[in-house]
Structure 1
């Protein structure tokens, strides 16, 4: 992100999920504040509990503290962002006593999101704290997430937060091209290969073509296709959830560099403009 900040001027520079539960909030804030300063305020941090748990034993964390670790560290991260100096005491890291934490994000206001995978507890926490939330929809049907979106909005309002600052997004697996059939045939072995690599360590059954095709179909969770298909599915998600942010995860399985650059080009020059035009109408 720091490298990208030096060769860009306008784009947001956001992370995928930073697994806050097994990270130090002080160090994480310092890293993102550095990028924020280099980029003149374009950095965004997305904190999550983590669906991958390998980092917990690696950094000496106990999985029985899975939720408590995230809750405490998220609140500390927010306090660091809002207060300088800071005094804080918790269970999982050393106490801070009137400590100045440097560097500071631009205007002492680092943008933070909470990433959730579908648990009500995570939704309530983000809404209560007034934080924007990013739902990862990487399986099943998006419509199944509708109650969680409504739950988040209701708790956000009931907690007294300003609805003018309400932000909500989705993160989906996506890949774009000029021809739908061609891009599907190209991407399936790459995508299924990655699903199987992950699945072997987790006891999942082998990924099937039927799963891929259902995901790409109407009402499915994958947006892998041509411009018109992709625009339609993005707009359907916007209508279903009232989105303010759409995140396309394009590198599942490591497609070739040329294909990745083409997917980004199609998304930026054809899909995004059509979506913006439709939403202005």
Structure 2
């Protein structure tokens, strides 16, 4: 069982100055935060890709390469690489390089992308959303599995008896990230790929049919059940008492949810939603360590997970508060969860 942390590089918004912190400051804070996670023996770090003014990270592979040189143990993963708008050859080279720099700690978590800003930037048509991902995933897996590649598709030039360098010491670990789409779950199971579910709203138990569907299809397609890996990635935050969470963190969280929600037609995010999400049945893993640890344990046991990732920087909380959240997670939550699962 692996327990990790995830980030998107959310920028802190300064209400007084009316602007976001600089990306340079946030990136340097992130390095310090992940170094602490590594020292605390947290298992993995997952970093997302965005192309927006409120996030600092558009190229996770570069940040992960920087982290490879200052960490020793923690796995370094994208979360996600928006494969639909990326070049699979370049993505494969990038993550193979991170893997070599980190002595085998890199992973590529591929997703279709719930944010679509990267599509026009890289000249992709959103009308090809599903077809792009299917084709590019096919090429990525061919690059992973074959030293010499012959491949032909619709959206990029063909490869004819081509070897891509550098070569990894072991096959690159590729995961599929999904929301709640059965087609995406089926694809991952059919291909025998590890899967990670983003559960960020509603009730986690609603995902149980999808997870059972993945397990059934994984076995049905002849894959080794001993190699099955299933993860969940959820919004999280850790404080020493619940009042700190509602008074200090809620404004950051709500502001970010409202920035995204305004573009997607969502109603304003309320404190009632926030508190409901923190209930035992809700999808927010936030609060004091003992309470959150119990909730994580229940989720792991309910789904039969092999990985759980706490996404901890939604809304851009302060560096001080993020460092404290990582400390609480690494020293109190993680040990309690792992002890319960022994």
* TM-score above 0.5: yes
Structure 2: stretches of 5+ with no match in the other structure: 1-63
Equivalent-residue separation in structure 1 for 2:326 and 2:246 (angstroms): 16
Alignment length, in residue pairs? 279
**Deviations for 1:151-208, whole angstroms, at most 9, x for unmatched residues?**
0000000000001101000000000121122223211100000001111222211111
Equivalent-residue separation in structure 1 for 2:91 and 2:119 (angstroms): 16
1:238 maps to which of 272, 297, 300:
300
Equivalent-residue separation in structure 2 for 1:21 and 1:37 (angstroms): 25
2:327 maps to which of 259, 265, 279:
265
2:244 maps to which of 176, 179, 182:
182
**1:216 has 2:314 as partner:** no
Equivalent-residue separation in structure 1 for 2:112 and 2:80 (angstroms): 8
Aligned to 1:2: 65
Equivalent-residue separation in structure 2 for 1:155 and 1:17 (angstroms): 23
1:264 CA displacement: 0.7
Length-normalised TM-score, structure 2 = 0.80
Equivalent-residue separation in structure 2 for 1:251 and 1:15 (angstroms): 15
**1:158 has 2:220 as partner:** yes
Aligned to 1:278: 340
- Conservation of the 8 A alpha-carbon contact between 1:167 and 1:244: yes
**1:247 has 2:309 as partner:** yes
Structure 1: stretches of 5+ with no match in the other structure: none
Equivalent-residue separation in structure 1 for 2:215 and 2:111 (angstroms): 19
CA RMSD of superposed structures (Å): 0.8
Higher relative contact order (CA closer than 8 Å, sequence separation 6+): 2
Runs of 4+ that moved beyond 4 A: none
Q: Say which structure is richer in helix.
A: 1
Aligned to 1:67: 130
Aligned to 2:260: 198
- Conservation of the 8 A alpha-carbon contact between 1:231 and 1:274: yes
Aligned to 2:90: 27
**Deviations for 1:61-101, whole angstroms, at most 9, x for unmatched residues?**
11221111101101110110111111100111100001110
The alignment partner of 2:66 has SS state of helix
Aligned to 2:150: 87
Aligned to 1:55: 118
1:46 maps to which of 85, 95, 109:
109
- Conservation of the 8 A alpha-carbon contact between 1:49 and 1:66: yes
